[in-house]
Amino acid sequence: MTQQNTPPVVEMTGISVEFPPVKALDGVDFSLRPGEIHALMGENGAGKSTLIKALTGIHSPTAGTIRVDGVERRFSGPADARAHGVSTVYQEVNLCENLTVAENIMLGAEPRVLGGLNWRAIRRQAATHLERMGLDIDPGSSLGSHSLAVQQLVAICRATVGDCKVLILDEPTSSLDTDEVAHLFTVMRALRDDGVAILFVSHFLDQVYEVSDHMTVLRNGTLVGEYVTADLPASELVQHMIGRSMDVLEAAEEVLEQAERPADATPLLQVVGLGRKGSVQPFDLDLYEGEVVGLAGLLGSGRTELARLLTGADRADTGEARVAGRPTRLRNPRAAMRHRIAYTSEDRKGEGVVDGLTVRENIVLALQAERGWMRPLPRKQVDELVAKYIQQLGIRPADPEALLRNLSGGNQQKVLLARWLATAPKLLVLDEPTRGIDVGAKAEIQKLVAELAADGMSVVFISAELEEVLRISHRIAVLRDRRKVAEIDGNRASMDQVVELIAGGGAA
């Protein structure tokens, strides 16, 4: 465990980073000691990533000093940082899918023989590293053939090659399921006990509490404080992070209570036996106005696949769909859009935002695409629309001309939501809208979902966080092994009941 008296391996004092006119970090102090797991907490845009990037040399601080092992340093970039024992693993796996696992692990640190690569040693050393991580996979297999979770562990494995004193894990768990998270934590604890200092960034509070020894909280680019995890209750932590109390979180639930559907209502969208080979088994589902339907299930249980069939993102090869009682075919996203069905993908970066365009362009994209290129939206209408959503959803920075890639994850998600809200959907399918975003933004999105439903919109809500699904859904469809196995009343369901269904016991 942490020894308070050991000198810190990383000591950052008075760090400021500016992207004029924005001050991303303002005189932040941070220190990291060997043999501790230190969580860096804060909302989106609080400066967590900036602090990490200042440390690894991606951003150059305008003020402050960084000491690693007592020596003042300014790294020229991640490679330089790594050479001095500071390795980083990012949220998105930055590896080469087309190379083998072994090649990925040893990339840049390959053992050599006679000027060439020593392939046998590469395999052997990679295998040793994998074993240390408790990963039982073939080093010779190609990385792309493994799940995202395994790729993530391989990325961590790669980071620990060589003399790794500091390991930075930026949102390593956002795409992992419970077992995989547990595995990762075992690995993290083992590394900590070997004396590695681990900097851990996660939006999952329970995970932070489970694994970290200390935490440092940032808000709006300034330091709030450093705490011993065991001494800081979660409610206080959240208050430190968002600077206000938990009331917002509760608000979502209150809005939800009111909804009550008439018994003879026609479903907005009714699907019967909808399915796709190799994707999800045929399922039935009725979606009503003013109702939030949650989809619960493990990663890979078919949640996303089901959503994609509902919204025309993938084409179903069996079954039929009725919109307001009329048979229809949801052949592609455009066909679904004509029925006012909107879908935000779980893959925000790959399938959601267009990061090279501005906030304004991203918000009007779907609306404009629907009108066709020949009928541009009048500029005045665009400006009003964009201003409205920036204000309503609290998009930061509130600049319509900001490039989307410069926004934090939570704000990108809000822009994505705004894009679809602008099309005035009747059915909104949200796939992991709260993944990788902070508590405050998460609460805002949950509240928004509840309000939209109260205004008569039908919402399908997918999340890996069961608690969240339970909190905001009227009804919950449970999936297991690519099949819909149950449908339960969201207001009466308990966590245990859903977990049991997901796990395969219980009623189904």
Footprint on this chain of other proteins (rule: CB under 8 A):
57, 60, 65, 71-77, 80, 313, 332-334, 337, 343, 345, 350-357, 361, 365-366, 368-377, 419
Question: Nearest distance from residue 84's CB to other proteins, in Å?
Answer: 8
Q: Which of 85, 59, 66, 89 is nearest to 14 (CA)?
A: 66
Rounded CA gap, 425 and 343, in Å? 10
Query: Residue 373 or residue 496: which is nearer to other proteins going by CB?
Result: 373
DSSP states of 160-223 as a string? TSSS-SEEEEESTTTT--HHHHHHHHHHHHHHHHTT-EEEEE-S-HHHHHHH-SEEEEEETTEE
> Which single residue is written with the structure tokens 């001494």?
231
Q: Which strands form 458-462's sheet, in the order they lie side by side?
A: 341-344, 427-431, 458-462, 292-296, 475-480, 483-489
Query: Residue 263 or residue 374: which is nearer to other proteins going by CB?
Result: 374
Query: Residue 1 or residue 374: which is nearer to other proteins going by CB?
Result: 374
Alpha helices in 285-438 (DSSP H): 303-310, 333-338, 359-371, 379-393, 409-421
Query: Residue 20 or residue 505: which is nearer to other proteins going by CB?
Result: 20
Query: Residue 243 or residue 356: which is nearer to other proteins going by CB?
Result: 356
Question: Nearest distance from residue 77's CB to other proteins, in Å?
Answer: 7
Question: Nearest distance from residue 67's CB to other proteins, in Å?
Answer: 9
Q: Which of 377, 51, 360 is nearest to 226 (CA)?
A: 51
Question: Nearest distance from residue 353's CB to other proteins, in Å?
Answer: 6
Query: Residue 283 or residue 343: which is nearer to other proteins going by CB?
Result: 343
* DSSP code at position 374: T
Question: Nearest distance from residue 370's CB to other proteins, in Å?
Answer: 5
Query: Residue 277 or residue 379: which is nearer to other proteins going by CB?
Result: 379
Alpha helices in 43-147 (DSSP H): 48-56, 78-83, 101-106, 119-132
Question: Nearest distance from residue 85's CB to other proteins, in Å?
Answer: 13
Question: Nearest distance from residue 449's CB to other proteins, in Å?
Answer: 19
Collapsing DSSP states into helix, strand and coil, what is residue 485?
Answer: strand
**Chain mean position to CA 214:** 23
